Structure 1
Amino acid sequence: MVYDVIVIGGGQAGLAMGYYLRKTSLSFLILDNNELVGDAWRKRYDSLVLFTPRSYSSLPGLEVEGDPSGYPTKNEIANYLEQYGKTFNLPIQLKCEVTKVRKENGQYHIVTKDSLIKSKKVIIATGPFHTPRIPSFAKDLPKDIVQLHSSEYKNQTQLNHGSVLVVGGGNSGAQIAVELSSIHETYLSIGHKIRFLPLSIGKKSFFWWCEKIGLLKASGDSFIGKKFKGKPDPIFGFELRERIKNKEVKLKARSKSIKGNIIQFEDSSTLRVQNVIWATGFNKDYSWIDIPNLFDRNGYIKHERGITENEGLYFLGLPWQHRRGSALLLGVGDDAEYLAHHIQLT
């Protein structure tokens, strides 16, 4: 059988794509390497809570249950995604690791560990979180110091007694630093000035206000989009700010190098800790896509709203694919609908 469309990735992007493909007559299949839909969320740290309220954390066609103004946990979202696939009876093949995608004789060949699947079109919906990005000097840490990437961290029981350094100033690093500061002497290493934004203003979600002023719908090449694109994400909520003010979390400059068990920072200060959490993000890994002319000279995927120069090859769930929320639950549905419409016309 040759499918009309294969979607690689069964997370929020792949599920949103499935929702819109289900409205067409196209034959399609969603491939995912996890054991259950939603496992990518289940595997994240235990205390993870979204900074978008439930009213802004849903995919098209199905609302997240619970208080719309409350903030869902990672397990809520994982269970929601699993329910989403069942609600719309989406064809999902789990425990399916794709090892290669290539094009032969006008068809896409999707190679897995167990089979070869053929399709007329392919949508890469694997999201922006592929391989942990850890500084090369991390290897110089002594083995008795616990070091974990944020994707490996679950809770404080994994750590040694004593102090901890969280490296990275995104929302994950902020949440982990706040959590650990109640138990450990905690330091946060960050290379830029932190911008804090409120979770709500006047009893309305911050994202409600963003919707009213048009920020959620602003494209990356719009005036307002250019003001935000490429800048470090703000930290939502003021918990970290209060912990810093009370010296429960101590700020350090960007981590620079390690000598022995001493971490050195860009401002020439040093620190000895018993634990390090690398909340330093992820690198993209598309080495398994054997398609020419996929990247520009800076290593970015060449696309227009997810449509590549390679006929029949699409991407979904990229940061700023079209808007600020393109890689988030609240925005990926718009891009999925756009691609489904385009695919039907081609």
Structure 2
Amino acid sequence: MMTFVLVIGAGQAGLATGCHLRRSSLDFLIVDSACHVGNSWRKRYESLTLFTPRQFSALPGLPLVGNRELYATREEFADYLQTYATRCGLPVRLNSRVVRLARIGGNAFEATLQNGKRLQATHVVVATGGFQKSVVPPISAKFDAEVVQLNAETYRNIHQIPGGRALVVGDGASGRDIAVELSSRGPTALAAGKPRRLFPERVLGKSVWWWLSKSGVLKAPPNSTMGQFLRRSDAFPDRDRSIGSLTRKNIAIMPRLVDAAGDKAIFSDGSSIPVAAVIWAVGYVDDSSWLGVPEATAADGSFLHTEGVSPVHGLFFVGKPWQRNRTSALIMGVGDDARLIVQRIAAEGSGQTARG
């Protein structure tokens, strides 16, 4: 069987992979469950903007137009992905959800689509991203049915939220953004977790991302001293999202949520407050329910890989958090990761040794 690559996912990771595959001599196809390229961005909360400026938010070969120091909206970036797929002439098959991927024979894969059609490939790149399935803790079941519960995937805007206090659980970038938006409609609380470090948006007139990129910090491997520090701190830019700023916006900062009863949210210091709505923004996990290759996943269902290379021959990943460094799950990093994975696939197809 001649080398044929199936890329699952037409977000930034899948399209970056497609760009490098297009530059190679390899045959490939990109499949995605959505009806339009970029829909994964359009489905997120309406006020979302990227937290990297436009100059650091482009894929290989096509700049993101607009003020390079400012931040693209979700709609703008979704449109950019659509344009990218068209400009690069990428073979994208939409409305094609993969419901099962299995090994056939010794050196091939078969993907079963939701419509029953099947595709065979010698190599598969899973580019479904790092934000697949929102975590909703078991505590959620202890709230009354009258308490509206959403997560970072299902929350769109303030009009979904009834009167009364809204509680956002999780103080990452998305949680803080959503809390600020909700504070414009009424009482809002934010349940924080571990102390979180924010870095300044600009240093000496330049984006902090410029400094981080120039210093090489962003390229630190995950197991290096710097990489371990960055992973522990999980920092993001302070765009008027510090605890002090949130407090000035009348957002009540609460400790960790540990329990619930009826409409009461109960916190680690023993305090409690009544809530009308809860928005869960506590992170994501891999959705590997469709992957029928047991050796490719850990006991908890997470994907197994080393720098994007699965222990299963012919299976690869692009766009996973900390796949190679801090930029791997960011738009600025998927191009480099995709290039290395495509080099590896091309080398396997020719019988050569891949080079970094």
Superposed pair shares fold, TM > 0.5: yes
Decide which structure has greater helix share.
2
Q: Distance in 1 between matches of 2:311 and 2:147?
A: 47
Relative to 1, partners in 2 of residues 1:287 and 1:230: Cα closer, same or farther, differing over 3 Å? farther
State the match for 2:325 in structure 1: 323
CA distance in 2, matches of 1:43, 1:246: 30
| Aligned residue number for residue 220 of structure 1 | 222
Deviations 1:203-250 (A, max 9, x none): 100100101211122221233112112443445323343433426111
**Residue in structure 1 matched with residue 339 of structure 2 by the alignment:** 337
Flag structure 2 segments of 5+ consecutive residues without an equivalent.
349-356
- What's 2:297 paired with? 295
CA distance in 1, matches of 2:232, 2:299: 18
Aligned to 1:59: 59
The match for 1:313 is: 315
- The equivalent residue for 1:239 is 241
Give the counterpart of 1:304 among 306, 310, 321. 306
CA contact (8 A) 2:180 2:246 kept: no
Map 1:1-346 onto structure 2 (within 5 A): 4-105=4-105, 106-114=107-115, 115-234=117-236, 236-246=238-248, 248-296=250-298, 300-346=302-348
**What letter is aligned with 1:56?**
F
- Distance in 1, Cα, partners of 2:237 & 2:112: 40
| 8 A Cα contact 1:132 1:283, kept in partner | yes
Cα distance in structure 2, aligned partners of 1:26 and 1:307 = 18
Alpha-carbon contact 1:196-1:238 (below 8 Å) kept: no
Tell me the alpha carbon deviations over residues 43-75 of structure 1, each in whole angstroms, 9 at most, x when there is no partner.
111111111100001111111010111111111
Distance of aligned partners of 1:29 and 1:3 in 2 relative to their CA distance in 1, 3 Å threshold: farther
- Structure 2 CA distance for partners of 1:221 and 1:194, relative to 1, 3 Å: closer
Given that 1:178 and 1:243 are in contact with CA atoms closer than 8 Å, whether structure 2 keeps it comes out as no
Q: Which amino acid in structure 1 is aligned with residue 48 of structure 2?
A: L
Task: Give deviations 1:106-148, integer Å, cap 9, x for gaps.
Answer: 2110111220100111011111222221111212222222221
| Secondary structure in structure 1 of the residue aligned to 2:145 | coil
Q: 1:14, 1:193 → 2: CA distance?
A: 34
Aligned-residue sequence identity (percent) comes to 38
Q: CA deviation at 1:302?
A: 3.1
Q: Which residue type is aligned with residue 110 of structure 1?
A: A
* Inter-partner Cα distance in structure 2 for 1:96 and 1:120: 19
C-alpha distance 267-226 of structure 1, shift in aligned 2 (>3 A): same
Question: Aligned letter for 1:12?
Answer: Q
For residues 24 and 313 of structure 1, what CA distance do their matches in structure 2 show? Answer: 18
**Contact kept in structure 2, 1:302 and 1:308, CA below 8 Å:** yes
Cα-Cα RMSD: 1.7
After TM superposition, the structure 1 stretch with the greater mean CA deviation from structure 2, 295-304 or 247-256, is 295-304
**CA displacement 1:295-333 (0-9 Å, x = unmatched):** 346765332211122111111111000010101101011
TM-score if structure 1 supplies the norm length? Answer: 0.95
Aligned partners of 2:266 and 2:237: how far apart in 1? 25
1: distance between equivalents of 2:268 and 2:237?
22
SS at match of 2:320: coil
The secondary structure found in structure 2 opposite 1:325 is helix
CA distance, structure 1, for counterparts of residue 303 and residue 232 of structure 2: 15
Look up the SS of the partner of 1:147 in the other structure.
strand
Amino acid at match of 2:174: S
Deviates most, 187-196 or 220-229: 220-229
SS of the counterpart of 2:163? coil
Q: Which stretches of structure 1, 4 residues or more, deviate above 6 A after TM superposition? A: none
Residue-pair matches, total: 346
